[in-house]
Structure 1
Amino acid sequence: MERAGIKIEDVHLSFGETKVLKGVNLEIKPGEFFAFLGPSGSGKSTLLRAIAGFGPTPQGSIRIGGRDVVKLSPWTRNVGMVFQSYALWPHMSVRENVGFGLKERKMPARQIRPKVDAALELVGLQRLAERMPNQLSGGQQQRIALARTIVVEPEVLLLDEPLSNLDASLRVQMRRELLRLQRQLGLTTIFVTHDQEEANTTSDRMAVLDGGVIQQIGTPQELYDQPANLFVARFLGTANILKGRVESYGDQARFVTATGDSLSLSGSTPSEGGNIVLRPQNIQISREAGRNALPGKVLHKEFLGSQIRYLVEAGGTEIVVDQSHSSGVDWYEVGADVHLLANTDNAVVL
């Protein structure tokens, strides 16, 4: 299977008067596992379908392997798409479902069988070749949909929330299988999801979308550690947003909260900014004051097994703090007066 890069330039798309994609620009490398991440209505599935050729023809350019496919029909783009519903033919056996695309391409039957067997072996389901779709579990149906797609040897694999119909434990297993298969085949792959954990654990890079606009592109770690705006910060994990202002004194800077408490800042810090982003794991909860401490009061606590999660009122807002749990660790009760010690080395000012 050939690797093909994808280049999207100034793509706009509307449904009637509603603008769904607004000037999307994006380049995906050959062989990359790329995720489109965003909430419902962000435009991520619409962008995926525009690449596949489903739906209205967008304005702009979509190049696959250097070829502009915007005006080409879906079946001439050499892309494979796995849908959320799997879309298996209920009256066909597993073998017939997987071989359907090859049969439509008029491939001789003697060539279809070994190709289907090879695709089923890739997804570990060759023994189920003669079963019907209604005899399969959800995870097995998803693997069959994958086999049916890769057997036609597409240049690009498109996955439209393929794990959303599976239960939580099976989703974890199947996303590992997806990544294993993608690495084995070297296929350029785009994975659409609203689940940040799925995107973080599978993708080489991702694009976060909101309102039909790409908010930020980068590796999962880059987007988590250095969000470009408050939307990205909030969407990728739990983010504590403190409102205030940045003040400089000499070669140092500090962030003053809405309640007048201050936190020293280190590293490269914007000269202006009205918000500071702190992740729950970068804050310690203590009974004693210390450097970069905010006084607060415990509002709520949750035991999460490996962690205790506290909700603390401090700095004029409610702050989430995660503390590692081990046997014998004291809990802070609701209503307790505490201090939050912030590690501002990892803080982001926006």
Structure 2
Amino acid sequence: MNTDKSQQVGITIKDLTLSFGDTEVLKGVNLDIKPGEFFAFLGPSGSGKSTLLRAIAGFGPEPKGKILLGNEDIKSLPPWKRNVGMVFQSYALWPHMTVRQNVAYGLEERKVPTAQIRERVDNALNLVGLYHLADRRPSQLSGGQQQRVAIARTVVVEPRVLLLDEPLSNLDANLREQMRRDLLDLQRQLGLTTIFVAHDQEEANTISDRIAVLDQGVIQQVGAPMELYDNPVNKFVADFLGTANMLEGQLQQAASGKNFTTPSGISFPFDHPISGDVSLVFRPQSLEIASNSLPDDRITLQGFVKHREFLGHLVRYSIDVGGQVLMVDDPHRRGAEHLRNGEPIRLALKPEEVVALQ
């Protein structure tokens, strides 16, 4: 199996637009995916992420714009001429064939010599740890094993790019975690440029070098997982990537500096270059349950506990602050006492933990 990283190829997408009838599904998509990168398309249902993946593979109506693999525009090529491997959500294995026959199928269609087929299939099955199950049929395998067969069948033909369309969605939570690690190890070993479609942010965060967040056919932001989480460019990205607290209000100049005020009456000093209508975004773990003394630079908020949830490693409180509900995550420790519903509380927030969006 070819693991020569000098053969890695990048993907460039320019002004890509795609419609189904009168419905525009992708709207002017521009992307640069680096050679050998593990890249994710992330977004809610209907955001266009799977449509974009299928456009790269050559499935569906031909889009407008360009899809470049290296320097070659493949937009008008049929799927079988693109040398792009795709693993579908359903795995799409032939039920009447053995594991070996399923993996060999693509090579047989390409008229690869028999001896070479056996060698390449053996290598692919060893790569995904299924050589010992080569003579079983898909119905005799677990969901995770079936997924490995689908991956082996794809990589055995030595594609230039590997496309994964929500391949973990049919697996239970524990197996999904293991398969994420296995997928990443396999991708690093092969050095294949890989695109992974997910609607689960945890999957995308743990496996990807970079992520493109899509909504309504438009790329909202591209970046490394932590970069997107810590520095969202808009409210959609902030809210989609984890739990976010948002305060809507006005940021105006006051006598001693700038002051932020919400329509419900929440008010505190907040020094920031922008003014006017603004959304302040911060994460539940950024809020501290305040002690009696606090540093002068802390933003402080008064409220009461409206609800609490025990999540194992933490307790998540819903705090009513002037009619606005804020989420606060407090780490759980064995034997710790937690706040009760209705209990008054003071919260503290470092200004540098806040992102201001207009």
TM-score range, shorter chain: over 0.9
> Could you tell me which residue of structure 2 aligns to residue 240 of structure 1?
245
2:181 alignment partner, one of 155, 176, 179: 176
1:279 aligns with 2:283: yes
Kept in 1: contact 2:261–2:268 (CA 8 A)? yes
1:40 aligns with 2:45: yes
Deviation at 1:318, TM superposition (A): 0.8
> Could you tell me which residue of structure 1 aligns to residue 86 of structure 2?
81
1:128 alignment partner, one of 122, 125, 133: 133
Kept in 2: contact 1:5–1:64 (CA 8 A)? yes
Deviation at 1:326, TM superposition (A): 1.2
Deviation at 1:35, TM superposition (A): 0.2
Kept in 2: contact 1:289–1:339 (CA 8 A)? no
Segments of structure 1 that go 5 or more residues without pairing to the other structure are: none
> Could you tell me which residue of structure 1 aligns to residue 349 of structure 2?
342
> Could you tell me which residue of structure 1 aligns to residue 58 of structure 2?
53
In structure 1, what is the Cα distance between the partners aligned to 2:255 and 2:31?
41
Identity %: 61
1:302 alignment partner, one of 304, 309, 314: 309
User: Given the superposition, is the C-alpha separation of residues 91 and 317 from structure 1 closer, same or farther in structure 2, using an over 3 Å criterion?
Assistant: same
Deviation at 1:263, TM superposition (A): 3.4
Q: Secondary structure at the match of 1:274?
A: strand
Deviation at 1:316, TM superposition (A): 3.7
Can you list the C-alpha shifts for 1:132-191, whole angstroms capped at 9, x where unaligned? Answer: 011000000000000000000011000000000000110001011000000111100000
Amino acid at match of 2:352: D
Kept in 2: contact 1:273–1:349 (CA 8 A)? no
Deviation at 1:264, TM superposition (A): 3.6
Kept in 1: contact 2:87–2:164 (CA 8 A)? yes
Kept in 2: contact 1:288–1:338 (CA 8 A)? no
TM-score, normalisation: structure 2: 0.94
Deviation at 1:220, TM superposition (A): 0.5
User: Given the superposition, is the C-alpha separation of residues 269 and 93 from structure 1 closer, same or farther in structure 2, using an over 3 Å criterion?
Assistant: farther
> Could you tell me which residue of structure 2 aligns to residue 317 of structure 1?
324
In structure 1, what is the Cα distance between the partners aligned to 2:322 and 2:38?
40
Kept in 1: contact 2:306–2:318 (CA 8 A)? yes
Deviation at 1:250, TM superposition (A): 7.5
In structure 1, what is the Cα distance between the partners aligned to 2:277 and 2:235?
12
Can you list the C-alpha shifts for 1:16-60, whole angstroms capped at 9, x where unaligned? Answer: 111100110111000000000000000000000000000000000
Query: RMSD in angstroms over aligned alpha carbons?
Result: 1.5
Q: Secondary structure at the match of 1:245?
A: strand
1:6 aligns with 2:30: no
Kept in 2: contact 1:43–1:209 (CA 8 A)? yes
> Could you tell me which residue of structure 1 aligns to residue 95 of structure 2?
90
Kept in 1: contact 2:250–2:275 (CA 8 A)? no
User: Given the superposition, is the C-alpha separation of residues 218 and 273 from structure 1 closer, same or farther in structure 2, using an over 3 Å criterion?
Assistant: farther
In structure 1, what is the Cα distance between the partners aligned to 2:35 and 2:97?
34
Relative to structure 2, which stretch is displaced further, 203-212 or 279-288? 279-288
Deviation at 1:246, TM superposition (A): 1.5
Kept in 2: contact 1:258–1:316 (CA 8 A)? no
Segments of structure 2 that go 5 or more residues without pairing to the other structure are: none
In structure 2, what is the Cα distance between the partners aligned to 1:120 and 1:251?
68
Kept in 1: contact 2:251–2:260 (CA 8 A)? yes
In structure 1, what is the Cα distance between the partners aligned to 2:268 and 2:106?
61
Amino acid at match of 1:345: E
Q: Secondary structure at the match of 1:171?
A: helix
Q: When the two structures are aligned, how many residues end up with a matched partner?
A: 349
Amino acid at match of 1:300: H
In structure 1, what is the Cα distance between the partners aligned to 2:273 and 2:283?
17
In structure 2, what is the Cα distance between the partners aligned to 1:294 and 1:196?
30
Kept in 1: contact 2:14–2:67 (CA 8 A)? yes
